[in-house]
């Protein structure tokens, strides 16, 4: 499991852009924990294209980040063609009724 939070990092959007690129090449890891890392809707855009090429990733935890409705909609658009993600955690991510797919 890739878990930057457990390493005590608050890498934010810029760090997510770097880490997301490494996910595109990683076909081994099945679970990623990016919880509480100061990620916003802008950072979620880092996953555009990445999650289509990574078919091994089964679980993605983005809880505790302020992705809001805009970030939720971006995730919906990104994940529409991803058949690998089986568990997506978005607890405490400032998503309201406008953030539904």
Which residues constitute the domain of residue 37? 4-99
With residue 9 as reference, give the H or E element that holds it. none
Q: What is the mean pLDDT of each run of 10 residues along the chain (101 residues)?
A: 52 86 81 92 88 85 95 91 90 85 71
How many domains, in total, are found in the chain?
A: 1
CA angle 88, 77, 25 (to 5 degrees): 65
**Report field, pTM of the whole predicted structure over 0.85:** no
Q: What is the CATH number of the domain that holds 36?
A: 3.80.10.10
Give residue 6's pLDDT. Answer: 46
Give residue 5's pLDDT. Answer: 43
Residues 48 and 44: their CA atoms lie apart, in Å, by 8
């Amino acid at each position: 499991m890739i878990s930057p939070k457990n390493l005590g990092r608050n890498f934010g959007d810029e760090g997510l852009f770097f880490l997301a690129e490494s996910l595109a090449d990683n076909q081994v890891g099945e679970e990623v924990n990016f919880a509480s890392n100061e990620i916003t809707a802008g950072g979620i855009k880092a996953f555009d294209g990445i999650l289509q090429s990574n078919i091994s990733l089964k679980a993605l935890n983005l809880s505790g980040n302020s992705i809001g409705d805009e970030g939720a909609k971006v995730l919906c658009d990104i994940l529409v063609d991803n058949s690998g993600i089986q568990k997506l955690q978005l607890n405490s991510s400032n998503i309201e009724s406008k953030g539904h797919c």
